[in-house]
Amino acid sequence: MREFAYSRAEGLDQAVGADGRFIAGGTNLLDLMKLEVETPDRLVDINRLPLTAIKADGQGLRIGALVSNSDCAADDRVRRDWPLLSQAILAGASPQLRNKATMGGNLCQRTRCGYFMDGRSPCNKREPGSGCAAQGGVNRNMAILGASDHCIATYPGDMAVALAALQATVTTRGPDGERQIPMRYFHRLPGDHPEQDNHLEPGEVITAILLPEPFGGRQVYRKVRERASYAFALVSVAAALRMEGGRIEAARLAFGGVAHAPWTNDEVDELLAGERPSRALFDKAADILLADAVGQGGNDFKIPLLRRTLAAVLSDVTGE
């Protein structure tokens, strides 16, 4: 690991706009520093900031950015009213990691593309303009939706997929003040700037995640992965559905492991609303979702896998 300076922010004003990389749990950033994929000159430790509370906020909940993933998943209010979030967090990493990993850090974790993590391979995300070794290379884990000629990597996290389905908001404080970014627009598609994972500006701190009022209904997070523990999603489906008189009253879906960001599609949610659940309906939803899906060879299997996982989840939540 290269030499770097270290300082500790004692308050939010000291952290905002700081010249350096924020470190929270360190479970992603330190790994990438050891691999010399990340080479910050300065780490700014934000663990002393007062961002560790989970508080009621209007009809919803405000979860501080430094709340650990374990504490959020175990919170009684989250488990009762936003169970999708608990399920998604518990589907990720291991208990030890979740104890250390924070809400803000989890949102900013970087792709698990093997070429990105291997300093010897061309990678536009690690070194803009150097190329993309995954195209024509090993691409089993790569994106089938929203990729670009510059990058086909996926965002690897689980929690953000649930937050996108639940229509949560990310609150930040930057040099220009506070802002709220809907979770569905927090991460970026790669376009021609795959080195930028999300819409945070330099020196901008995530302060909290806001959950809107409970959506209710049945909520299921299903993650398909190579093995039962310590594996990132091949594909995942986050679903919250309300039923009324045998029809789907409202649906909120999001998908993981398939794009550079948690993937949502309003057309799919709208198609389902007001309909009686059936295999034909689930198939139609998958047709819309996958209309622009493109495989890279090694990941072609994700297209039928996502179709089947969506049908299985919809069948589970609707009882059809």
Ligand X SMILES: Cc1cc2nc3c(=O)[nH]c(=O)nc-3n(C[C@H](O)[C@H](O)[C@H](O)COP(=O)(O)OP(=O)(O)OC[C@H]3O[C@@H](n4cnc5c(N)ncnc54)[C@H](O)[C@@H]3O)c2cc1C
Q: Which residues bind ligand X (CB under 6 A)?
A: 21-29, 31, 46, 65, 69, 92-93, 97, 100-102, 104-106, 108-109, 157-159, 205-206, 230, 232
From the list 104, 194, 256, 262, which residue makes contact with ligand SF4 (rule: CB under 6 A)?
194
The candidate with the shortest Cα–Cα distance to 271, out of 208, 314, 207, is 314
301 binds, among ligand SF4, ligand X, none (CB under 5 to 8 A by kind): none
CB 271 within 8 A of CB 282: no
Smallest separation (angstroms) from ligand X to the CB of 148: 22
Residue 116, binding choice from ligand SF4, ligand X, none, Cβ under 5 to 8 Å by partner class = ligand SF4
Binding status of residue 68 toward ligand SF4 by CB under 6 A = no
**Residue 72 tokens, joined:** 């959020």
Q: State the amino acid at position 166 in one-letter form.
A: L
Rule CB under 6 A: is residue 188 a binding residue for ligand SF4?
A: no
* d(C-alpha 232, C-alpha 20), whole Å: 28
Closest CA to 298 of 97, 103, 98, 152: 152
Q: What's the closest the beta carbon of residue 261 comes to ligand SF4, in angstroms? A: 13
CA distance 176 to 179: 9
Strand partners, 61: 56, 211
Examine residue 251 and tell whether it contacts ligand SF4 (CB under 6 A): no
CB of 195 to ligand SF4, least distance (A): 9
* Partner whose footprint covers residue 113, from ligand X, ligand SF4, none (CB < 5 to 8 Å by kind): ligand SF4
Query: Between residue 6 and residue 35, which ones bind ligand SF4 under the rule CB under 6 A?
Result: none
Secondary structure class of 250 (helix, strand, coil): strand
CB of 211 to ligand X, least distance (A): 17
Concatenating the DSSP letter of every residue in 229-243 gives SS---SEEEEEEEEE
| Least spacing, CB of residue 114 vs ligand SF4, in Å | 8
Residue 134 interacts with, from ligand X, ligand SF4, none (CB under 5-8 Å by kind): ligand SF4
Structure tokens that stand for 266 in this block: 């309003």
CB of 106 to ligand X, least distance (A): 3
Judged by beta carbon, residue 116 or residue 221, the one nearer ligand SF4 is 116
**128: which residues sit within 8 A by CB, 6+ positions away?**
193, 194, 195
Q: Could you give the 3-state DSSP secondary structure of residue 300? A: coil
Which helix (H) or strand (E) segment holds residue 42: the answer is strand 42-45
Binding mask 151-170 for ligand SF4 (x = CB under 6 A): xxx-----------------
Q: Does 282 bind ligand SF4 (CB under 6 A)?
A: no
Residue 171's closest CA among 160, 163, 183?
Answer: 183
Give me the residues that bind ligand SF4 (CB under 6 A), please: 111, 113, 115-116, 123-125, 132-134, 151-153, 194
